[in-house]
Structure formats: structure tokens, C-alpha cells
Amino acid sequence: MKLKTLIPAFGAYMIASTVQAQETAIAVPTDSVFILNSLLFLIGGFLVFWMAAGFSMLEAGLVRSKNVTMQLTKNMGLFGFACFAYYLVGYNLMYPLGTWATEGVISGIWGPAVLEAVGVDAAGADDYSYASTGSDFFFQLMFCAATASIVSGALAERIKLWPFLVFTVILTGLIYPLQASWKWGGGFLDAMGFLDFAGSTVVHSVGGWAALAGALILGPRIGKYTKEGKTVPFMASNLPLATLGTFILWMGWFGFNGGSQLAMGSIGDVADISRIFANTNAAAAAGSIAALILTQLLYKKPDLTMVLNGALAGLVAITAEPLTPTLGSASIIGAIGGVIVVFGVPLLDKLKIDDVVGAIPVHLFAGIWGTIAVVFTNSDASLSTQLYSIIVVGLFTFIASAILWYILKSVSGIRVSEEDEITGLDISELGMPAYDIVK
Amino acid sequence: MCAQSEENMKLIIATIKPFKLEEVRIALTESGVTGMMVTEIKGYGTQSGHTEIYRGAEYAVNFVPKIRLDIVVSDAEADGVVSTIENTAKTGKIGDGKIFVLDVDQAVRVRTGETGDDAV
């Protein structure tokens, strides 16, 4: 009995004293705040990095076996190019730090990212009151690369490798950083009060819009839609890989949303990050269950590929606001994401927009939903500002992407030949089957 | 040339539901059948195909997976084998399969050169 009463009292004492210490810490920058903030960026960053593996496995699993090597090549290629594009121009374009060419719209800093000097002390750090530049660059780079990963899945099995990679360079070097500066770089959308915590719009919808523009201009895969307007299913080649990819993305999302707290140097921040982890997880779980139950009801049998998409849609939906919802409301937000996917996939097919892995329903449709859903749990959000931002970012990304796709189409063509597409890109473009057993 | 043996043999071709293979194999072995050839096949008969749904799009499965058994036995054993397969593979539902019986002219055991009934 004595022990029972003692422990809470002791716990309360500990919390009280830490809060006191923390209050001092906010007033005066300390090494530990700098270290913990940087650590959050590094941990979050490598978790988001790992999402590249998730996208690769998901896409490799959902394409047909004759296009797997190409899909993996695109995923490796896009990641590498995204890293350079973001380093050379993207990072400074996204974070003008007040130096605008056009106030709130276009950064005034065009040039490569520069890291802190080697072995700096407190006085030598770029921003001792916050975090190391390298950790911030590393973290933000991974978000940029994730945006490009979204595009590759939608356009799989028919797009040429090099035009796709050229698109990736422009997307990650210019399109993504430019629109991201409007919110996260302190630009005009941020000034208006637009809320997008970890990027339902800034990352996921942007990837989705770019993919939609590409899918429209590229056209569907040969034989996907019959003259009578029926959809012909092209079966996934490897559902274990697709499932592994989904779980990897789910795991990476803890870094994606948790790291977007952008600070870990106080009790409040750590408690918030913990909330974000739990809410992110709840939304994914609810999204997968919603898709599982809904496909059972609609089709009499559950569809695993939809369950995978449902989990991801739940994650995308909670990304705009993973902090303020309760576990219950996070679950509802995620579940609605899952429902959106189950209806979104056949809807795109009805419109003859061929999205191989469901990237557009998952990242664009659920991203829009998540951005709107912020208003239900965060009283600082205004519906009109959320809608305005969705439209502005959507129009900019869609139009910029469409122009770029058209230029690539007229310069080099973006689609492989009919024969190559039917043979499969692995053999025709790469001469390298993914599975030795492929005939 | 070895002489045509006096005994006649039958080739029994049976298509059965895949999940029945083990039951049929055990029943045939117990009834004295010493060997069989088994192939995974696809096909359709009265059962025809059915439809499935993948990512919201309905599609027809025209060919149903089946197991094909090829068994060669002496004339005398043939009826017994046919009825064993029939009784064991039967579920009473559509798609249970078919059994065909054909005459076999000759059989040779490669190792020993035995022919006819002795070879099967």
C-alpha cells in the first residue's frame, strides 16, 4: 500500500522537476535541446528513407512479373536523382529563410545546400537554439524523395525509364520544393493559416497530382480497358512483397509524422510525438480494416490489394493532422481514407485512368480528405483556407506536371513501343528478368 | 520385337478436384494399384468457369484447376479402379470430374524389358 502511494508521488515530483528544467531550457538554448532536436530529424529521416524500400516492394509486388526489374530500377533511380536535385537546388528553394525573390512565393536562394562546418561547437552551429543543418537537410530530403516515389507506381509498366527520371529531377528539384515553400518555407499559404502537419497535401497530394497528370498523358496499359469499357484486371505478381512494402511504409510513417513535430527538446514535444505515433498507427489500422470489411461486403471476398491500399490511405489521411485527434477520431479519419480507396480505385478505372498501384486514390484522394479533416480536430484550421490551399497546390502541381509531361512526350516520347510493352519492360528495356522462372 | 502379350490393358484417365488427390491416391493404393501419373491441369466441362473480382473489376476464370490421373492396369482391374476413383472423388457437386477408359496396346518396363500386364 505504501509503495503504491509512493510511486505516483515520486512520479509527480519527477515530472514537476523536469518541467521546471524544461522551462529554463526554452529560455536559454542548451546542448541537450540541440542534440535532441537533431536526433529527432536523424531518426525520423532514416525512417522516412526506409519508405523508399516500402514503395519499391509495394510496387514490385503489384506490377506484373514481366515489369518488376524495371519498377525496381525506377525506384532506385528516382531516389538517387531526387537526392541530387534536392541538394543542388531544392533545399534552398524550399527554405528561403526569409530571403524571397517574390515574397512568399519564390525563394531568393537558388543554389546547393551547404552543411555546417566539421566539428562545430555551440558558437559555430548554424542554429544552436534549434538543430543541426545536416539533420534538417537529411530529414527534408527524404520527404522530397517520397513524393517522387508516389509517381512511379501509378505510371508503371509502360513509361520509358529516362523520361521518367527527367520528370523526377524537375519534380524534386523545382515543383515539390517550390510549392512546399508556400507552406513549410513560411510562404503565402502558411501566412494564410493553412495547416498541413506532415504533408497530406504538400507531399502526398503533390505526388498524386503529378501522377494523375502523367497517367492522363501516358494513357492506360495495352489491354487494360476493352472497347466495351470493361476493366481487365492485371494481377499483382507478388503479394508477399506488396504486403511487406506496406508494412515498411507504415513503419516509415512514424518518422514521417512523428519527425514532423520538428522538435524533441521538451516534455511537451516528446508527449506530442508520442501522440502522433499512436494516432498514425490507429489511422493505418482503421484504414486497413475499413477496406477489409468493405471489400468483403461489396465483393463477397476481401481484396488484399485494397486492404494494403486502405492502410496507406489511412496513413495519408492522418498526415495533415496527426497530433490533435484523439485515438478515436484518428481512427475515423483513417477509416474514411480506407473507404475512399475502395471506391476510388474502380472510379479511376471507369474513367480509364490506369493507375497501376492505386497511388492516386491513396495519395491524392485520401490526401485531400486528410487536409480537409484537419478542421474537425484542430480549431486553428479554417475550412476555406484548407480548400483554397488544396486547390492552389493542386492546380500548380497538375499544370506544371502536365506541361513537363507534354514537353517530354514531344521531345523523346514517354511511352515504350507496343511490342516492348507486351514483351515486358524487363526483357525489352533491360534484358534482365526479375525472377528466373519468368517465361 | 517382343510379342504382344495376351492380356489386354486399360488406360484410365481421370480428372478430379485437386483437394481429392490424396484421398484417391490412398484408396487406389489400398486397392492394389501400384503406380499412377499425376498432372496439374486446367480445363472446363459442365462446371464451366466462374467470375472473380480484382480491385473492383470483375473477370472470368474460364479454366478451373484440376488434377489428371493416368493409370494403366490390366483389364481385370480396370472396373475396380474406375469405381474406386468414382467413389472417392465424388462430392456430389458440379465439377467432380470425369473418368475415361481406353485400350492400351502394349506396355514395356524399361528396366527389365517385361511387357504387357507384367510391365504395369
pLDDT value for B120: 84
pLDDT value for A4: 39
Quick check: A15 pLDDT over 50?
no
Tell me what the mean pLDDT of segment A404-431 comes to. Answer: 96
Element (H, E) at A68: helix A68-85
Tell me what the mean pLDDT of segment A361-370 comes to. Answer: 98
Domain residues for B60? 9-119
What 3-state DSSP class applies to B62? coil
- Cα separation, A106 vs A185, in Å, equals 10
pLDDT value for A18: 41
Cell 513535430 belongs to: A261
**CB A231 to CB B57 under 8 A?**
yes
Q: What is the CATH number of the domain that holds B72?
A: 3.30.70.120
Q: What is the CATH number of the domain that holds A72?
A: 1.10.3430.10
Does some domain include residue B56? Answer: yes
Cell 510391365 belongs to: B119
Of B52, B56, B59, which is closest to A345 when you measure between CB atoms?
B56
Identify the burial level of B53 via C-beta atoms within 10 angstroms of its C-beta, where 0-12 means exposed, 13-18 middle and 19 or more buried.
middle
> What are the φ and ψ backbone dihedral angles of B20, each rounded to 5 degrees?
-90, -5
Total domains, chain A: 1
Quick check: A11 pLDDT over 60?
no
Quick check: B92 pLDDT over 90?
yes
Cell 481406353 belongs to: B102
**CB B56 to CB A232 under 8 A?**
no
In 3D space, the residue among B99, B101, B95 whose CA is nearest the CA of residue B42 turns out to be B95
In 3D space, the residue among A288, A284, A290, A346 whose CA is nearest the CA of residue A319 turns out to be A284
Which residues of A fall below an 8 Å CB-CB distance to B?
Answer: 230-233, 235, 299-301, 303, 305-306, 342, 345-346, 349, 358
Cell 494516432 belongs to: A279
A chain contacts of residue B52, beta-carbon cutoff 8 Å: 301
- Cα separation, A255 vs A264, in Å, equals 13
Identify the burial level of A137 via C-beta atoms within 10 angstroms of its C-beta, where 0-12 means exposed, 13-18 middle and 19 or more buried.
buried
For the stretch A294-310, pLDDT in tens is: 999 999 999 999 999 99
pLDDT value for A7: 38
Does some domain include residue A2? Answer: no
Q: Which residues are CB-contacts of A332 (< 8 A; sequence separation ≥ 6)?
A: A286
Cell 530500377 belongs to: A73
Quick check: A136 pLDDT over 90?
yes
Element (H, E) at B97: strand B97-104
Does some domain include residue B2? Answer: no
In 3D space, the residue among A254, A242, A229 whose CA is nearest the CA of residue A356 turns out to be A242
Does some domain include residue B112? Answer: yes
**Chain A residue closest to B56 (CA)?**
A346
Quick check: A135 pLDDT over 60?
yes
End-to-end Cα, chain A, rounded Å: 72
Quick check: A3 pLDDT over 50?
no
**CB A305 to CB B57 under 8 A?**
no
Quick check: A6 pLDDT over 50?
no
Does some domain include residue A25? Answer: no
The pLDDT confidence band at residue A438, using thresholds 50, 70 and 90, is very low
The ipTM value here is 0.78
On average, the pLDDT of chain A sits at 93
Tell me what the mean pLDDT of segment A183-207 comes to. Answer: 97
Quick check: B6 pLDDT over 80?
no
The pLDDT confidence band at residue A73, using thresholds 50, 70 and 90, is very high
Q: Which three cell numbers mark B62? A: 474460364
What are residue B65's DSSP bridge partners?
B42
Tell me what the mean pLDDT of segment A419-427 comes to. Answer: 96
A chain contacts of residue B54, beta-carbon cutoff 8 Å: 233, 235, 303, 305
Of A325 and B45, which is predicted with more confidence?
A: A325
Quick check: A263 pLDDT over 90?
yes
- Cα separation, A97 vs A140, in Å, equals 15
Q: Which of A123-137, A279-293, A425-439 has the lowest mean pLDDT?
A: A425-439
Total domains, chain B: 1
Q: Which residues are CB-contacts of B114 (< 8 A; sequence separation ≥ 6)?
A: B108
Domain residues for A364? 31-430
In angstroms, the separation between the Cα of residue A334 and the nearest Cα of chain B is: 20
The pLDDT confidence band at residue A437, using thresholds 50, 70 and 90, is low
Q: Which residues are CB-contacts of A339 (< 8 A; sequence separation ≥ 6)?
A: A290, A291, A294
Write the DSSP string, A90-153: IHHHH--TT-EEETTTEES--S---PPPTT--TTTSTTTTS--HHHHHHHHHHHHHHHHHHHHH
For the stretch B24-37, pLDDT in tens is: 999 999 999 999 99
Does some domain include residue A3? Answer: no
**CB B57 to CB A230 under 8 A?**
yes
* Among B51, B54, B55, the residue to mutate for chain A (most A Cβ within 10 A): B55
Tell me what the mean pLDDT of segment A152-169 comes to. Answer: 97
Question: How many CB atoms within 10 Å of residue A117?
Answer: 10
Does some domain include residue B4? Answer: no
Does some domain include residue A380? Answer: yes
Tell me what the mean pLDDT of segment B39-66 comes to. Answer: 89
Of A230, A300, A306, which is closest to B55 when you measure between CB atoms?
A306
pLDDT value for A195: 98
Tell me what the mean pLDDT of segment B69-82 comes to. Answer: 95
Of A233, A300, A301, which is closest to B55 when you measure between CB atoms?
A233
On average, the pLDDT of chain B sits at 90
Does some domain include residue B3? Answer: no
**CB A345 to CB B55 under 8 A?**
yes
Quick check: A357 pLDDT over 60?
yes
Does some domain include residue B75? Answer: yes
Percent of chain A scored above 70 by pLDDT? 93
pLDDT value for A204: 98
**CB A235 to CB B54 under 8 A?**
yes
In angstroms, the separation between the Cα of residue B50 and the nearest Cα of chain A is: 14
In 3D space, the residue among A299, A300, A363 whose CA is nearest the CA of residue A337 turns out to be A363
Question: How many CB atoms within 10 Å of residue A346?
Answer: 17
Tell me what the mean pLDDT of segment A123-151 comes to. Answer: 96
Question: How many CB atoms within 10 Å of residue A51?
Answer: 24
Element (H, E) at A418: helix A418-423
The pLDDT confidence band at residue B8, using thresholds 50, 70 and 90, is confident
Of A232, A300, A346, which is closest to B56 when you measure between CB atoms?
A346
